Amino acid sequence: MSRPEIGKSVKTGEFTTNYLEQGEGFPLIFIHGSGPGVSAYANWRLVLPKVAEVAHCYGPDMIGFGYSSKPTDVKYGRELWTKQIIDFMNALGIEQADFVGNSFGGSLSLSVAVNYPERVRKIVMMGPMGVEFNISYGLNEVWGYQPSPENMMQMLDLFTFNKKFANKDLANVRYQASIEPGFQEAFSSMFPAPRQRSVDDLSFPDDVIKTVKHEALIVHGREDLVIPVENSYRLINLLPNSELHIFRGCGHWTQIEKSDEFATLVKGFVTR
């Protein structure tokens, strides 16, 4: 049985990172979100092949997610994942890259831009964390997920505006991914209650965000129930070289509900 979610693997510090790779050109690193059963493939399978027409695309699974290492004796948080991204770039000889980050991946892309500005050319933040905000009901539910087909269906319902994308087949695929060995053990240790602490860990003060001079494209679904669209309105006012695209009739999964439009936006942004 073919497993498209399992790509290549590389040693990143003490851990092993599973990643997808496609295309050629300037490096573009896709950082997935933090939902249960997520992987680079689950997040980016519709977008990566299209963007790979103009860039050398990489989609790593972050530590604790997908098919990368799932240690249970580490402190999960922004510091660990940011280090993994830099270790990943170093291991593959990537001096500088563009970034596309979804949700928690938006925060991690911003973290690389803040802490290693010379390693970043441009960033795309989609439905992003990164600014300080009070945890939403939707995000609290996502991070508190307990495995069952019903709970996964409820997750998909939170993620999507157009319910054709929240079908039982996808729910089953994501549920099966969420119960693979080690998945839930790692996931349940990442964002313990009170989960506001994890939001705070993945957030930057406004004055720090203002120092990021990279070109930034911010994308959000207007009907996002997981990360409030207000986050992106704040980011456009804080990031000095940014632009904002809001999709109407779209939830948290812009890259799935508006995959063609999102890929077109990203391709235009990274090639200009």
Question: What are the pLDDT digits (tens) for 171-228?
Answer: 888 899 899 888 999 998 999 999 999 999 999 999 999 999 999 999 999 999 999 9
> Catalytic site residues?
103, 224, 252
- pLDDT value, residue 70: 95
Q: What angle do CA 39, 42, 43 make, to 5 degrees?
A: 90
The strand order across the sheet containing 215-221 reads 8-12, 15-22, 56-60, 27-31, 97-102, 120-126, 215-221, 242-247
Q: What is the mean pLDDT of the chain?
A: 96
Q: Which residues of 241-255 are buried (b: 16+ CB within 10 A; e: fewer)?
A: ebebbbbeebbbbbb
Q: How many helices (H) and strands (E) does the chain have?
A: 13, 8
Cα 28 to Cα 22: distance, rounded to the nearest angstrom: 10
DSSP 167: -
Where the chain has pLDDT below 70, the residues are 1
- 58 by Cβ neighbours in 10 Å (0-12 / 13-18 / 19+) ranks as buried
